[in-house]
Amino acid sequence: MRLDAYRTYLLAGMGKILNRSEQKTVATDAGCSYLYALEILKGPFPLGERLISQDPGLSMAYAKNVLKSAFPPGEGAIASVGHYALHYAIDVLKGPFPQGEDAIFNTEADSTDLTTYILLAATNPEPAHLERLQKYKIVQQLLSAIATK
């Protein structure tokens, strides 16, 4: 964390209204940018989004806790880490996240979360999506288990 960015963020936390130059200082650090958006602005912080979008965890948290909707600039980073991709799909998109599926299905994940994801994908209006999911071994196993019951 950049010390100058953190100090400036703390000033905002003590009630100081930041000018444009001070906001640019906060925007030099992804973590401070996220905290500034979440705790001070209680909404988007466009100046900080470039750095936030490079961090998978912060991108997911920014989408979920600040935007409360998709964060397209961060989706590339989110898609690179299975845990974040899975929870981005479930908690933010509330639907499939094809860009993150390789990471989702090639990571250790809670079977309940994977099942939730598969059910979200199954209710997707695009029928080809469920067919694409069947290339993943875990999906084949879950579908097989469902079919035998």
Which tens digits make up the pLDDT trace of 7-62? Answer: 998 888 888 899 999 999 999 999 999 999 999 999 999 999 999 999 999 999 99
Q: Is 67 helix (H, G, I), strand (E, B) or coil?
A: helix
Residue 129 has pLDDT above 80, yes or no: no
Global confidence as pTM = 0.86
The confidence score (pLDDT) of residue 41 equals 95
Q: 17 CB contacts (<8 Å, ≥6 apart)?
A: none
The two structure tokens encoding residue 113: 């979360």
